[in-house]
Amino acid sequence: MPRTESANQEIREQREAQIRATAAHLFAHNGYVGTRIEDIAHAVSMSKGLLYHYFGRKATLYTTLVDRASRGTVQLFQESLTGPGTTAERLQRLVRQIVEGLTEQPDMFMVVMQAFMSDAVPIEAHEKATRFARQTQDLMSAFIQEGQEVNEVIAGNPEQLALLLGSCIQGLAVSQAMEGRVPPITNTLIHLFTRRCAG
Amino acid sequence: MPRTESANQEIREQREAQIRATAAHLFAHNGYVGTRIEDIAHAVSMSKGLLYHYFGRKATLYTTLVDRASRGTVQLFQESLTGPGTTAERLQRLVRQIVEGLTEQPDMFMVVMQAFMSDAVPIEAHEKATRFARQTQDLMSAFIQEGQEVNEVIAGNPEQLALLLGSCIQGLAVSQAMEGRVPPITNTLIHLFTRRCAG
Amino acid sequence: MPRTESANQEIREQREAQIRATAAHLFAHNGYVGTRIEDIAHAVSMSKGLLYHYFGRKATLYTTLVDRASRGTVQLFQESLTGPGTTAERLQRLVRQIVEGLTEQPDMFMVVMQAFMSDAVPIEAHEKATRFARQTQDLMSAFIQEGQEVNEVIAGNPEQLALLLGSCIQGLAVSQAMEGRVPPITNTLIHLFTRRCAG
Amino acid sequence: MPRTESANQEIREQREAQIRATAAHLFAHNGYVGTRIEDIAHAVSMSKGLLYHYFGRKATLYTTLVDRASRGTVQLFQESLTGPGTTAERLQRLVRQIVEGLTEQPDMFMVVMQAFMSDAVPIEAHEKATRFARQTQDLMSAFIQEGQEVNEVIAGNPEQLALLLGSCIQGLAVSQAMEGRVPPITNTLIHLFTRRCAG
DNA sequence: TATGAATGAGGATTCATTCAT
DNA sequence: AATGAATGAATCCTCATTCAT
């Protein structure tokens, strides 16, 4: 008796998820060009042929990762923007959620960063990452401005502050990915951008 | 009649400098594996063969860049630590110098970052970059602690603050390298880590 | 559906044998450095890539050949030493077997000789060949001494006689490999080292 | 005051001799393809450019060596053939002279051997070596036959005996070149081919 | 769905040879 | 005569991708 349609579907999804996770890890550590299809196949205990069955090409696999990571983070932003609470509360929640996500899946962050920073990746991935960077930078900037208006965020050019905050987050992702741990730094990070003196 | 010793010496030095600058740029944008020797040779308008005449192998060229950039930055740290002025003044000066350097040579920064973050680089380069990261992190941490003791730097775990400050600097390097410009952000950056309220 | 395990195994073994034979021939005639992987690939009608699939590197392929040839000949020696018959009979049998083998596979002999004589071969191959040369020289020497003790072999320093006998054999291998034929010389050769006068 | 014409000439000849000796050594040990012009230049403490001044191309240098070595040996043969003494005496003298030469300049012998055995050498060198091999084989063969006629040389097919004797000589050259020494084997060697029993 | 044999274009490296000085 | 900078063709080796089974 053949497996049911849905059982097959489920297996397939599990496999894909496994491939994505493994590929993200390898890409994160070795870069796009430095990661071989064979490495990925070996890491998921599967033949090259089968891997190709799931992801037609290396570029597709990579771009998919960038896409998913980007979407996930952007969604966090959007939820924070429209969610409940004061501006400061929502900004804090956002930062917390990002740091949390980054702690659990640093590889995905690394891949996006890398796709942004490198020209030696599939062009589509690079463009996606660039759009993502701009988008989050803008959203963060708006967020900060809003926070400044209610006196909850430190003074300064919002775009510049957003750049710095974004840099801090990326730095944490690198720490997590490279050294396997990030200190429980979120409070310090938030504190850094929070208005501390009565004004 | 052969060229004089010094004439050859001069040719060598010019060529090497030219190669280093160009290679740094390409490595910064395409990564170690993604940069082809042929690209570098073409960019400096010389044959592959000649490039190999100067740097026996791709790995050597790359590692040399990491080494030079690391040394340069470490030296800035050391000068700042032992230089004149209050802690805050010296820390500020350090940050300014780094940002200045990074504005002028973002590629070198990128290469070190990349060598730190990637496993797909010559192992020697990776190790150098890792040592560099630890070293600057420690120096910065000590610096911050010193600043805190004289109430000139924001409160918080010095190591964590150093990590964040370092991340900000890296973020600026990325901005400069990728978008070709960094906003005049140094003051904001310094402000972020400076104690702002009487207390 | 993938090929069965054994089908793959069979393909592998056939291919490997095919590669070894062809490679031996080319190496024998052009030397290690003078033989291009592409030549071998072309001669066995397969792509370079596939050749590398089977033998990771040129050096491995070469060293494998040296190893096999050495082992084969050493085994002949050992069988002769422990086999039945008088000393003279066994020595004669050994020489006959070697010459026979050399007539059928002169290339293998040439490769070992070459690996012994040249420094421009993989070091492992050179060392194997050197060990082989010493080993067979010693075995032959002992054999000759034994033959002298029962008055069946010509008088003289056994080591020197072994060297000369070995040289003759090598000379035959060269003849066979270069000119494609060796005269039916075995009897003459044996006669040369056999005691001919009543003593 | 410029050097005199003849002084220049002398320097030139010395240099050339030095180059030949060094090149012979390197070619003998590393083969034609495995020896780099730069290696030779370095070994004679001279720039590549200057080396090219003396020998226009690698092939020329190599072929010159083969040529000189061949001629030298052929000359020995001819002198022996026409010299004084009985056949046995002249044959012995020839063998002694060859072994003597081979002891002093094993590299030259190796180069000729190699040029004969390998197809990966300049075609001219290969052809010269092949002609040389044939020529000496024939001369030796005739010599042996002559010796047999006066009952001074062992019985057997002269060509085959010549092949064996030649092989022995080559084997000695290899010993000398590879291990730096040949045992004082000449008597044994001569004894091998000499008629020993009254009859 | 699953495997790994097979291909070939691409990239690192070497080296004979030339040439300006 | 002397040097070593400069070139580029040749060669090793890798790896994404395809395909027969």
Render each residue's pLDDT in chain C as its tens digit; 199 residues. Answer: 677 777 778 888 888 999 999 999 999 999 999 999 999 999 999 999 999 999 999 999 999 999 999 999 999 999 998 899 999 899 999 999 999 999 999 999 999 999 999 999 999 999 999 999 999 999 999 999 999 999 999 999 999 999 999 999 999 999 999 988 888 999 999 999 998 775 5
> Using an 8 Å Cβ cutoff, are B188 and A157 in contact?
yes
Query: Cβ of B43 under 8 Å from any chain A Cβ?
Result: no
CA distance B37 to chain A (A): 14
Task: Give me the pLDDT at residue A1, please.
Answer: 46
Q: Residue D5 above 80 pLDDT? A: no
Alpha-carbon span B41 to B43, nearest angstrom = 5
Mean pLDDT on D167-173: 95
CA distances from C61 to A174, C54, C55, C67, D192 (A): 43, 9, 6, 10, 39
Q: Residue D100 above 80 pLDDT? A: yes
Query: Cβ of A17 under 8 Å from any chain B Cβ?
Result: no
- B partners (3+ CB pairs within 8 A) are A
- Facing B118 at nearest CB: one of A29, A189, A197: A29
Q: Residue D123 above 70 pLDDT? A: yes
D-chain residues within 8 Å CB-CB of C159? 183
The domains located in chain C, with CATH, are 58-193 (1.10.357.10)
Nucleotide F5's nearest residue (CA vs C1') is B50
Chain D 45-74, CB < 7 Å to strand E: 48-49, 52, 56-59
pLDDT band at D1 (very low <50, low <70, confident <90, very high): very low
> Using an 8 Å Cβ cutoff, are C112 and C69 in contact?
yes
Q: D6 vs D107, which has greater pLDDT?
A: D107
C62: phi then psi, degrees, rounded to nearest 5: -60, -50
Q: Three-class SS of residue D153?
A: strand
Q: Three-class SS of residue B194?
A: strand
Task: Give me the pLDDT at residue A108, please.
Answer: 96
Q: What is the pTM of this model?
A: 0.93
Task: Give me the pLDDT at residue D3, please.
Answer: 57
Task: Give me the pLDDT at residue C198, please.
Answer: 59
Write the DSSP assignment of C18-79 as a string of letters: HHHHHHHHHHHHHHHHHS-HHHHHHHTT--HHHHHHHSSSHHHHHHHHHHHHHHHHHHHHHH
Write the DSSP assignment of B123-192 as a string of letters: HHHHHHHHHHHHHHHHHHHHHHHHHHHTT-B--S-HHHHHHHHHHHHHHHHHHHHHHS---S-HHHHHHH
| Rg, Å, chain D Cα set | 19
Q: D196 vs B73, which has greater pLDDT?
A: B73
Task: Give me the pLDDT at residue D192, please.
Answer: 92
Alpha-carbon span C29 to C36, nearest angstrom = 12
Nucleotide E11's nearest residue (CA vs C1') is B36
Contact B156 A191 (CB under 8 A): yes
Residue of A nearest to B176 (CA): A117
Alpha-carbon span D67 to D108, nearest angstrom = 10
User: Which of A2-16, C18-32, D64-78, D158-172 has the least mean pLDDT?
Assistant: A2-16
Q: Residue D40 above 80 pLDDT? A: yes
What angle do helix axes A87-104 and A158-179 make, rounded to 10 degrees?
30
Please return the burial class of C128, using the count of CB atoms within 10 Å of its CB with bins 0-12, 13-18 and 19+: buried
Q: How far is CA D33 from the centre of its chain?
A: 20
Number of Cβ within 10 Å of residue C184's Cβ equals 11
Of the candidates C182, B112, C134, C162, which has an alpha carbon nearest to the alpha carbon of residue D188? C162
Q: Which nucleotides of F are covered by protein (CB under 7 A)?
A: 1-21
Q: Residue B197 above 90 pLDDT? A: no
> Using an 8 Å Cβ cutoff, are C105 and C28 in contact?
no
Number of Cβ within 10 Å of residue B45's Cβ equals 8
C2 CB below 7 A from strand E atoms: yes
Task: Give me the pLDDT at residue C181, please.
Answer: 84
Residue C162's identity, in one-letter code, is A
Contact D34 C117 (CB under 8 A): no
Q: Looking up tokens 């062009």, which residue turns up?
A: A123
Number of Cβ within 10 Å of residue C82's Cβ equals 8
State the nucleotide closest to B3 in CA–C1' terms.
E21
Mean pLDDT on D138-153: 94
Q: Residue D196 above 90 pLDDT? A: no
Task: Give me the pLDDT at residue A2, please.
Answer: 52
3-state secondary structure A22-69: HHHHHHHHHHHHHCCHHHHHHHCCCCHHHHHHHCCCHHHHHHHHHHHH
Q: Residue A66 above 70 pLDDT? A: yes
State the nucleotide closest to A38 in CA–C1' terms.
F15
Helices (H), A83-122: 87-104, 106-117
First and final CA of chain D: distance in angstroms?
74
